[in-house]
Amino acid sequence: MFRVSRIACICFLVVGLVSLSSGIAAGQSDEGRPPLNAENAGELALLLTLEISGSDYFSPDGHYLLIAGETDVALYDMLLPAESAEPVALWTDVKYGNFSYDGRFLTLTNTTAAQLEVIDLSTISASSEPAIRIDYPGDRPSHLFSQDNTRLFVKTGGPLRWYDLTGDLATATANELGTDVTAFTLSPDNLHVAVIDSGGVMMFDLTTGEAVFTHALESGSLTISPGGTYLHITSQWCRVGGCSGSIEVYDWSTNELRLTVPIEGYVDRLVYSPDDTLAIYATNSTGSWSVYPNQGTTFYDAVVHVVDMATGEDVFTIQETDAVLTAMYFTADSSRVAYSSIIMQGQWPDWSSSVIHIVDLATEEATTIMAGGLIGALSDDWSVLRTTKGIYLPGTWTSGTGSAIAEVATGTTVIDLANAYAVNNDLTLVVMADAADSTTMTVYTIMGDALTTLAVEMDGVEAISSLSFSTIGNLIRAKFSVGESDYIAIWGLPG
How far apart CA 347 and CA 216 sit, in angstroms, is: 39
The contacts of residue 381 (CB under 8 Å, 6+ apart) are: none
How does pLDDT run across 311-351, given as a tens digit for each residue?
A: 999 988 877 766 666 678 888 888 888 887 776 666 666 66
How far apart CA 10 and CA 297 sit, in angstroms, is: 58
How far apart CA 347 and CA 350 sit, in angstroms, is: 10
Q: What is the mean pLDDT of residues 123-145?
A: 84
Residue 305 has pLDDT above 70, yes or no: yes
How far apart CA 196 and CA 396 sit, in angstroms, is: 46
How does pLDDT run across 155-205, given as a tens digit for each residue?
A: 988 899 999 999 899 889 999 999 999 999 999 999 999 999 987 899 999
The band of 30, judged by pLDDT with boundaries at 50, 70 and 90, is very low
316, 317, 321, 289: which is closest to 302 by C-alpha? Answer: 321
How far apart CA 481 and CA 462 sit, in angstroms, is: 5
Q: What is the mean pLDDT of residues 145-155?
A: 95
Cα maximum dimension of the chain: 67
Determine the pLDDT at residue 95.
79
SS3 201: strand
Residue 107 has pLDDT above 50, yes or no: yes
DSSP E strands, 321-449: 323-330, 336-345, 348-349, 355-360, 365-370, 375-378, 385-387, 390-392, 399-401, 409-410, 415-416, 421-423, 429-433, 440-447
Determine the pLDDT at residue 121.
92
Residue bearing the bigger pLDDT, 216 or 191: 191
What is each CA distance from 69 to 1, 114, 120, in whole angstroms? 8, 17, 21
Residue bearing the bigger pLDDT, 379 or 216: 216
Determine the pLDDT at residue 344.
64
Determine the pLDDT at residue 400.
38
Asked if residue 194 lies in contact with residue 222, where contact means CB atoms within 8 angstroms, the answer is: yes
Residue bearing the bigger pLDDT, 105 or 453: 105
Q: Of 285-294, 326-335, 393-402, 482-491, which has the strongest mean pLDDT?
A: 482-491
The band of 301, judged by pLDDT with boundaries at 50, 70 and 90, is low
Q: What is the mean pLDDT of residues 248-274?
A: 82
Determine the pLDDT at residue 278.
93
Q: Above pLDDT 70, what percent of the chain?
A: 73
Asked if residue 455 lies in contact with residue 445, where contact means CB atoms within 8 angstroms, the answer is: no
SS3 96: strand
Residue bearing the bigger pLDDT, 201 or 494: 201
Determine the pLDDT at residue 345.
65
How far apart CA 195 and CA 185 sit, in angstroms, is: 7
Determine the pLDDT at residue 297.
38
How does pLDDT run across 68-90, given as a tens digit for each residue?
A: 888 888 998 887 766 566 888 88
Residue 25 has pLDDT above 90, yes or no: no
How does pLDDT run across 343-379, given as a tens digit for each residue?
A: 666 666 666 667 777 888 888 777 777 665 677 777 7
Residue 29 has pLDDT above 50, yes or no: no
How does pLDDT run across 5-21, given as a tens digit for each residue?
A: 333 344 555 443 232 22
How does pLDDT run across 397-417, given as a tens digit for each residue?
A: 544 333 323 333 445 567 888
* Burial status of residue 306 (CB atoms within 10 A of its CB: 0-12, 13-18, 19 or more): buried
Among the listed ranges 264-268, 365-369, 378-382, 441-445, which one has the minimum average pLDDT value? 264-268
DSSP E strands, 31-141: 45-52, 55-58, 64-68, 72-77, 89-92, 94-99, 105-110, 115-120, 132-135
Determine the pLDDT at residue 329.
82
Q: Above pLDDT 90, what percent of the chain?
A: 25
The average confidence (pLDDT) of the chain is 76
Q: What is the side-by-side strand order in the sheet with 89-92?
A: 55-58, 64-68, 72-77, 89-92
Residue bearing the bigger pLDDT, 2 or 49: 49
The band of 4, judged by pLDDT with boundaries at 50, 70 and 90, is very low
